[in-house]
Structure 1
Amino acid sequence: MSNQPADLLLTGGRVVTLDRAGTVAQAVAVSGATIRAVGSSEDLAALAGPATRIVDLAGRTVIPGLIDSHCHFEDAGTDRDTVPFDGVTTMAEALRRIAAKASALGPGAWVRGQIWNPVLQLAERRAPTRQELDVAASGRPVFLPMGHSAAVSTAALARAGLDEHSRHGEDIVAREPSGHPSGLLIEDGVALVARVVPPWTDEQRSRQLLDAMAVLNSWGITSVVGGAMTPRDVDLLAELARHGRSSVRVAAMLMPTGELNPSVDLDEWSALLHGRKRASASDWLIERGVKLQLDGGMTLGTAATREAYDGRPDYRGELIADPRRFTDLVRIAHGHDWPVGVHAVGDAAIDLALDTFERIPAAAQPAVLIHASLIQPDQAKRAAALGVMVAAQTPFLWKNSGVIAGHLGRQRAERAVPLRTLVDALGMDGVAVGTDYPINGLNPFQNLYAMTTRRDLHGGSTGAEQAVSRSEALRLYTVSGAAHTGEQRRKGAITPGRLADLVVLDTDPLTADDAALLKTRPLVTIAGGRVVFDVGHELS
């Protein structure tokens, strides 16, 4: 051990290293951006010098920085510019928030919302109508994204050329009984309106990305896989990293055209991937692959399934992409060494993805099944044999297990998000976990609770046999997340030489009872040796 003093010494605590031996230490020393040493408080005391910042943990627990392996994290930084719907449960409250944002904007300015799901969230179980948005926003254009659909006002439809004279069919925009557009956009219709919404300036967007990182840091999250990122956002992240402003390490799943499924012809798709110079800024940003989509979702009742939906003998969900074109897109992407991450929720969509991956030579990094919520045991084994990874999200069961059972039947709901099956088939390095924020909440400790108890918000249990252990759950949120992006030698555990991404917690997530685990909160978050969150300002 070098005699050079450490920059930071956390001592007198319980350091859960998550190394292969399962070591629990008392202290960790940091020099620069990396972990210098891990061991007993007595041994590491020798690394303290006149300039070393020494923190007495007083028995508190330190874990590696958490990794959300599928998250649209950039939405966490838009509170200043958009309508937030977190906690809204009635249409009246949603419309009040829209009106409040509209009143703060100039005449004709767009009112934009954060992604939400009013059908599941509101007591009315529906999205706001075009007329309601017209009144709330005083005639301004309104664009409220809802995942794979959106609600918009009359002014927004007009600016996109989707008024009553539009010839677009019902696969683009739903119609009222009168034949006029209802303001509910479907799939491609969302893109038609989104393209006329004025983009944020570079300054605004960079500030949003920084605000989002701060929110993630407050939850102990130091790394994230950006689930569907535009080239512009990735380029702005690279600029932030170059100037030393990043506090979250981002592995981006890129949408080269800004669309989940690109509408360009295959030659242009090939040219885009060939010409894209992958953004990289030391340890803060990588481009993990390209994002495509095959089907809908469980909570929307649109996941593509092998068997018919409960009570709907002729319905098996929806495939968003044409299978032949999907195969061509994957072939071209892998040919340019871009691994594909594919949104595939239902088992029929997973079959199609695995069939495609089996026929096409792999890229240097593994392909990814994103969500794979209804994956079957035979498919998990097949994915393992093909070297395909899975990014799973238990939070879909937290609030929506009843909705899922209503669509698919209780039996299929019980085997949704089968973590036990996935870990047993693919191993810890083949599965990673996350939230799909903002569709679900960011809280990683709520997620750890759900993964290990399979209980939901109301105390109900779904698929108890698919629970994993506390140790496995924490590893899935750290070590496995690092393996998911090919960075397992650089982060995910607290060992010398790895990046100094650390979280000090108010409880021990390995030993706390279930109630305490659910209430766990970070006290301090450190990313690259730098304090990025400090609830008590102990390290400020």
Structure 2
Amino acid sequence: MPALRHALLSLLLVAISWGQSAGDPTDVMFVNGRVMTMDSRVPRADSVLVRGERIVAIGIEEDVRSAMRPGGKVVDLDGKLVVPGFNDSHSHFTGGSRLLRQLNLYGVDTLAKVLKLVKESVDRAQPGEWIYGSRYDHTLWGDRWPTKQDLDRVAPDNPVVLRRASGHSVWVNSLALKISGITSASKDPPAGEIQRDSKTRQPTGILLESAAGLVRGRRRGPQLTREQRRKRLEADLIAGFRHAARRGVTSVQTSSSLREMEVIRELKAQGKLTLRWTGWLPLRQAAWLGERGVVTGQGDNWVRVGFLKGYIDGTLGDGTAAMFDPFIDRPDFDGLPTMNQKKLDAMVVEADRLGFQIGIHAIGDKGVHMVLNAFERAARVNGTKDRRHRVEHAQVIHKDDLRRFARLGVIASMQPTHCTTDMRFAETRIGRLRCRTAYPWRSLLDSGAKLAFGTDWSVEPLDPMRGVYSAVTRTNIQRMEPKTGWFPEQKLTAWEAVYHYTVGSAYGEHLEDVKGSLAPGRLADFVVLDHDVFTIPHEKILETKVVMTVVGGKTVYDGR
């Protein structure tokens, strides 16, 4: 106890000296909490003092209260658990926000139920109006892909486009194919595939990877003015901010654009931004961005430029991930890589030379291997260090590549719910042997690698509790199987899961000294939970709710 008291007092003295230069906002002291700081110097506390956007002091209430200025406000946390705000290291936030108002097929577990929901949308629409939906997962229904004929039964007069949960393929009906001019004579685009009937060679209605871009529906229907598009974007984003606040998400690292980030900054100026936004930009634009002075880290703690994002392959669920060996359920096919090693190396070396952090989507073992090769070459050619390049997803890793992450300083940006979703079909796709190093969190940590956790929203729900549960159980959420976990040797503890969702994600964007842990001088981003996820039975983690979300010292959600 004396050592802990000494550490607390040391942090308090630092805090007071820091807080004296922070202007004159009202102090807010949060007391009577069970605070897990994720800071090894003082891992636990019961009180947090906030001044403006920063934490001023943290520790035992008696000590922290001495740093509070007259006129401050006290908030009683009623003994609830407090953790740093969750930082989703990989999301598609704008797309997820937009889908909050669209047909959502996530978790719908039979084809009949999906078709019923599509028919309900058709019944509300005008004849000929395009019907859009997303997040269906055909692996919940069985082994076969759905077809255009399935949709034709409920939508003969409306073109239908349903995006799979992965975001890497679409399922369309006959009318959508006809309008788009997709026929038996159509050629597969590069890094894409039009699925065809094995006998007639007619398109089945499934368009994989880049072939999804052949659908022309996006260019049809009512055209919105630029101002109308902007207003819709703002409304979608604000709905997304509310959605995130209720789930304790205080930061997102997300697909974005320079124009979109200007909208986000304007929402911040209007007081409507309730999370921190790090936007990743396309790797293919590296030269263009460099010419305009855009660099990773540009911006402030609310809106900033993140890494440059590229793709090397597809997904496991769509059967398009780049694999060293063919898929078990498709022996003549080993995935759809987007480019060869030489081209990938050239893109990565140039972006690295320009000073960008880089994140590459790679799911198959060959895809991951190619990305690690490119990062290794960039470091050798440019002599750069601590870029913290990232492999986004890193789902299936060859055993010989596991130790390369730590050696190269490459971050594994992973989404635990992908494991507990994909386990239903992973062994059917790639066999049990390759699955031994699928989603290998423990092996990566043991090798010294850095992990950053997220959700890939809207591919998976934004709720961090599902990610924490998945990391500690490796049990499918829908079926609650297997009870002991899928390859349980790769499980994490609850503390590790939360750490990589907070400190790990902050490290992944070079901000671990600013957020991700609770300490004096850090941003006052934290979440209050109604259950202690570190001590409750694991199945109760899914029932855990956010009581309060604080971002920059401001309460953006209060569910008390």
Q: SS in structure 2 opposite 1:402?
A: coil
The residue type paired with residue 497 of structure 1 is G
In the alignment, structure 1 residue 90 sits paired with structure 2 residue 113: no
Q: Which residue of 2 aligns with 1:274?
A: 291
Q: Which residue of 1 aligns with 2:496?
A: 472
Q: Which residue of 2 aligns with 1:265?
A: none
Query: Would the alpha carbon gap of residues 168 and 396 (structure 1) be closer, same or farther in structure 2, given more than 3 Å must change?
Result: same
Which of 389, 393, 400 is the aligned partner of 2:415? 393
Q: SS in structure 2 opposite 1:477?
A: helix
CA offsets, 1:175-211, max 9 Å, x none?
A: 4555544332222221232653668811112211221
Q: Which residue of 1 aligns with 2:5?
A: none
Q: Does structure 1 retain, via aligned residues, the 8 Å contact 2:316–2:422?
A: no
Which of 354, 357, 369 is the aligned partner of 1:336? 354
Q: 2: distance between equivalents of 1:405 and 1:370?
A: 21
Show structure 1 runs of 5+ residues with no match: 257-261, 263-267
Q: Deviation of residue 444 (structure 1)?
A: 1.8
Q: Which residue of 1 aligns with 2:268?
A: 241
Query: Would the alpha carbon gap of residues 126 and 231 (structure 1) be closer, same or farther in structure 2, given more than 3 Å must change?
Result: farther
Q: Deviation of residue 136 (structure 1)?
A: 3.7
The residue type paired with residue 544 of structure 2 is T
In the alignment, structure 1 residue 436 sits paired with structure 2 residue 460: no
Q: Does structure 2 retain, via aligned residues, the 8 Å contact 1:238–1:281?
A: no
In the alignment, structure 1 residue 416 sits paired with structure 2 residue 438: yes
Q: 1: distance between equivalents of 2:29 and 2:492?
A: 33
CA offsets, 1:106-156, max 9 Å, x none?
A: 554432223x243223358533x3344455456333322222111224444
The residue type paired with residue 196 of structure 1 is R
Q: Which residue of 2 aligns with 1:12?
A: 32
Q: Does structure 2 retain, via aligned residues, the 8 Å contact 1:75–1:212?
A: no
Structure 2 counterparts to residues 349-368 of structure 1, below 5 A: 349-360=367-378, 361=382, 362=384, 365-368=387-390
Q: Which residue of 1 aligns with 2:212?
A: 190
The residue type paired with residue 219 of structure 2 is V
Query: Would the alpha carbon gap of residues 303 and 167 (structure 1) be closer, same or farther in structure 2, given more than 3 Å must change?
Result: closer
CA offsets, 1:55-100, max 9 Å, x none?
A: 2112111110011211223333234532111232222322232233
Which of 170, 181, 187 is the aligned partner of 1:168? 187
Q: Deviation of residue 304 (structure 1)?
A: 2.4
Q: Does structure 2 retain, via aligned residues, the 8 Å contact 1:310–1:409?
A: yes
Q: Which residue of 1 aligns with 2:81?
A: 61
Which of 525, 535, 560 is the aligned partner of 1:501? 525
Q: Which residue of 1 aligns with 2:237?
A: 209
Q: Does structure 1 retain, via aligned residues, the 8 Å contact 2:25–2:52?
A: no
In the alignment, structure 1 residue 445 sits paired with structure 2 residue 471: no
Structure 2 counterparts to residues 288-307 of structure 1, below 5 A: 288-307=306-325
The residue type paired with residue 172 of structure 2 is V
Query: Would the alpha carbon gap of residues 531 and 101 (structure 1) be closer, same or farther in structure 2, given more than 3 Å must change?
Result: farther
Q: Does structure 2 retain, via aligned residues, the 8 Å contact 1:445–1:520?
A: yes
Q: Does structure 2 retain, via aligned residues, the 8 Å contact 1:391–1:432?
A: yes
The residue type paired with residue 270 of structure 1 is A
The residue type paired with residue 121 of structure 1 is L
Q: Which residue of 2 aligns with 1:522?
A: 546
Which of 272, 282, 300 is the aligned partner of 1:255? 282
Q: Which residue of 1 aligns with 2:510?
A: 486
Show structure 2 runs of 5+ residues with no match: 1-15
Instruction: Identify which range, 272-281 or 51-60, moves more after superposition.
Output: 272-281
The residue type paired with residue 275 of structure 1 is R
Q: 2: distance between equivalents of 1:240 and 1:196?
A: 28
Aligned length: 520
Q: Deviation of residue 363 (structure 1)?
A: 7.9
Instruction: Identify which range, 78-87 or 366-375, moves more after superposition.
Output: 78-87
Query: Would the alpha carbon gap of residues 333 and 103 (structure 1) be closer, same or farther in structure 2, given more than 3 Å must change?
Result: farther
Which of 425, 428, 436 is the aligned partner of 1:403? 425
Q: SS in structure 2 opposite 1:173?
A: strand
CA offsets, 1:477-506, max 9 Å, x none?
A: 111111100111110011111111111111
The residue type paired with residue 519 of structure 2 is T
Q: SS in structure 1 opposite 2:375?
A: helix
In the alignment, structure 1 residue 369 sits paired with structure 2 residue 388: no
Q: 1: distance between equivalents of 2:70 and 2:122?
A: 55
Q: 1: distance between equivalents of 2:454 and 2:155?
A: 35
Query: Would the alpha carbon gap of residues 201 and 5 (structure 1) be closer, same or farther in structure 2, given more than 3 Å must change?
Result: closer
Q: Does structure 1 retain, via aligned residues, the 8 Å contact 2:156–2:175?
A: no
Q: Does structure 2 retain, via aligned residues, the 8 Å contact 1:337–1:364?
A: no
Q: Deviation of residue 371 (structure 1)?
A: 1.1
Structure 2 counterparts to residues 38-187 of structure 1, below 5 A: 38-46=58-66, 51-79=71-99, 81-106=101-126, 108-114=128-134, 116-122=135-141, 125-127=144-146, 129-134=147-152, 136-137=154-155, 139-146=157-164, 147-160=167-180, 162-164=181-183, 167-169=186-188, 171-176=192-197, 178-187=200-209
Q: SS in structure 2 opposite 1:409?
A: helix
Q: SS in structure 1 opposite 2:236?
A: helix
The residue type paired with residue 379 of structure 1 is D
Q: 2: distance between equivalents of 1:273 and 1:113?
A: 37
TM-score normalised by structure 1 residue count: 0.87
Q: Does structure 2 retain, via aligned residues, the 8 Å contact 1:6–1:31?
A: yes
Query: Would the alpha carbon gap of residues 311 and 58 (structure 1) be closer, same or farther in structure 2, given more than 3 Å must change?
Result: closer
CA offsets, 1:384-411, max 9 Å, x none?
A: 2222211012212213313101122223
Q: Deviation of residue 476 (structure 1)?
A: 0.7
TM-score normalised by structure 2 residue count: 0.84
Instruction: Identify which range, 238-247 or 411-420, moves more after superposition.
Output: 238-247
In the alignment, structure 1 residue 321 sits paired with structure 2 residue 339: yes
Instruction: Identify which range, 434-443 or 22-31, moves more after superposition.
Output: 434-443
CA offsets, 1:321-353, max 9 Å, x none?
A: 233322232233223322221111222222211
CA offsets, 1:18-60, max 9 Å, x none?
A: 1122421111111111112112222333456675332211211
Q: Deviation of residue 291 (structure 1)?
A: 1.3
Q: Which residue of 2 aligns with 1:259?
A: none
Q: Does structure 2 retain, via aligned residues, the 8 Å contact 1:298–1:407?
A: yes
Query: Would the alpha carbon gap of residues 124 and 353 (structure 1) be closer, same or farther in structure 2, given more than 3 Å must change?
Result: closer
Q: 2: distance between equivalents of 1:488 and 1:448?
A: 20
Q: Which residue of 1 aligns with 2:4?
A: none
Q: Does structure 1 retain, via aligned residues, the 8 Å contact 2:329–2:428?
A: no
Query: Would the alpha carbon gap of residues 230 and 89 (structure 1) be closer, same or farther in structure 2, given more than 3 Å must change?
Result: farther
